[in-house]
Amino acid sequence: MSSECIFCKILRGELPVTTVYEDEFSLAFMDLYPMLPGHVLVIPKEHHASIQQLSPSMRSHLFEVGAAVARAQMLSGLKCKSQNFFINDGPDANQHVPHVHLHVLPRSGADLHKALLSFMSRYNNIFGVAAKRRRLELLAKDIEVHMPQKVLSVLASVDRG
Ligand code: DGP
């Protein structure tokens, strides 16, 4: 864990978060500055800035959780037929939070302009964080209900030894 990292602060319970899935290795939660409604981030509980520092089994686990999130987004009430999965890995690649995170962005086709616009303006918080968090909580409930109790992955068997 890193003392300054905001995602480590979330993991330690020092910052509020709207979670859709958690297991002993990872956490999936609503992006507070979503590019589109239902934007979820999946993080490892270990603090590492780059995917290069993760074990192969941890990288694979993040994508297993991401795939389960994508399925849950499609089953939820979201307008969502597809997803972008992406990782900004390093400052030159627009990584703002130096703790590995997989973006799972629900897409519905004609939403590219909306996504690009919110990418540029999402840190300008004109409606206030409280209202935003209420909206995120409603969306999260719709996603969380379709998540499996536990995502099956190689990690548990590999890393428990
Ligand atoms: P990136 O630019 O790839 O490093 O993405 C960082 C994401 O993290 C960005 O989409 C906004 C999100 N984010 C930043 N601060 C917080 C926070 O305090 N809580 C949550 N839930 N998301 C955050």
In a domain, 133, yes or no: yes
Residue with CA at minimum distance from ligand 1 atom 23: 32
Residue 150 predicted with pLDDT over 50: yes
Residue 157 predicted with pLDDT over 70: no
We report the CATH number of the domain holding residue 27 as 3.30.428.10
In a domain, 106, yes or no: yes
Distance between CA atoms of residues 65 and 29, nearest Å: 11
In a domain, 82, yes or no: yes
Global pTM value: 0.92
In a domain, 155, yes or no: no
Q: In testing the pocket of ligand 1, which one of 48, 96, 116 has its CB within 8 Å of the most ligand atoms?
A: 96
The pLDDT value given to residue 65:
97
In a domain, 121, yes or no: yes
Residue pair 129/41 in contact (Cβ under 8 Å)? The answer is no
Ligand 1 in contact with 84 (CB < 6 A)?
A: no
Average model confidence (pLDDT) across the chain: 91
Q: What ligand 1 atom has the least distance to the C-alpha of 95?
A: 4
Q: In testing the pocket of ligand 1, which one of 22, 84, 85, 97 has its CB within 8 Å of the most ligand atoms?
A: 97
Give the burial string for 102-119 (b: 16+ CB within 10 Å, else e): bbbbbbeeebeeebeebe
Residue 124 predicted with pLDDT over 80: no
Ligand 1 in contact with 94 (CB < 6 A)?
A: yes
The pLDDT value given to residue 79:
83
Ligand 1 in contact with 15 (CB < 6 A)?
A: yes
In a domain, 157, yes or no: no
Burial class (CB in 10 A: 0-12, 13-18, 19+), 11: buried
Which among 58, 86, 59 is positioned nearest to 70, based on CA atoms? Answer: 86
Q: Which domain holds residue 10?
A: 6-148
Ligand 1 in contact with 6 (CB < 6 A)?
A: yes
Q: Tell me the β-bridge partners of 41.
A: 29, 103
Half-sphere exposure of 130 (CA within 13 A, CB side): 0
The count of structural domains within the chain is 1
In a domain, 1, yes or no: no
* Range in 85-89, 138-142, 149-153, 154-158 with the lowest mean pLDDT: 154-158
- Quick one: how many helices (H) and strands (E) in the chain? 5, 5
Q: Tell me the β-bridge partners of 79.
A: none
Residues involved in catalysis: 101
Residue 115 predicted with pLDDT over 80: yes
In a domain, 156, yes or no: no
Residue pair 25/44 in contact (Cβ under 8 Å)? The answer is yes
Higher pLDDT: 21 or 118? It is 21
Residue 97 predicted with pLDDT over 90: yes
What is the arithmetic mean of pLDDT over 52-74?
Answer: 97
Higher pLDDT: 129 or 142? It is 142
Cα-to-centroid distance, 32 and ligand 1 (Å):
6
The pLDDT value given to residue 128:
66
